[in-house]
Structure 1
Amino acid sequence: MYELFNINKFDTYKEDNRREVKKATGGLPSSLWESYSAMANTSGGVIILGVKEKNDGNWITTGLKSVDKDKLLDEFWNQAHNLQKISINLLIESDVETYEVENDIVMD
């Protein structure tokens, strides 16, 4: 099976049609749901929070901290179950993982 994201390969990834990064500083970006819908209507994919793409295409963490995790998860699950936001929630809690990269967290 095609591996969408492995934290040990973080430095090798670039955004493509199956991987998208979002800063998520200050909360969930509204563009998350556009990406979610696009991936749900194609071959699937992974959205990685706490990361941005640099001009050269490489990724860098954006400074999300462990204290941000619960707030982001609550916001995500509340919106994921809101039929005015998306028509169907395709995820379960075990689909979401959190990793530590140096002093920042990354969520997928």
Structure 2
Amino acid sequence: MTYELTLKDGRTLRIRISHPPDRTGYGPGLWAHILRDQLQVPEEEFWACVRDGTRPDRGEPSPPKTSLPADLVHLLITRVGIDERAVAEMTRDEALDRLRGFWTPGN
């Protein structure tokens, strides 16, 4: 049986599972080959994935914690004049407070 995993960078990892003819277990050399060449993962990361569900680092960016709506970001940068990096650090509540402060007369 062959399993495939297509990564975000376009690579496809393939592993072929077969049993030795004499039904013995896999030797250390074959196991090392599978981890290194087919799965492309260090042994520690493999076992962390098996035990804890911790996915190996495949170079993918981590998903953003939360994101602001595009129109809110646009208003904070173009109308309120806040630096793009500062906006990127804001929580949704902080961004809304800044925009409310800008639109409220007397502030």
| Same fold by TM-score greater than 0.5 | no
Query: Whose strand fraction is larger, Structure 1's or Structure 2's?
Result: 1
Normalising by structure 1, report the TM-score: 0.23
More RCO (CA 8 Å, sep 6+): 1
Query: Whose helix fraction is larger, Structure 1's or Structure 2's?
Result: 2
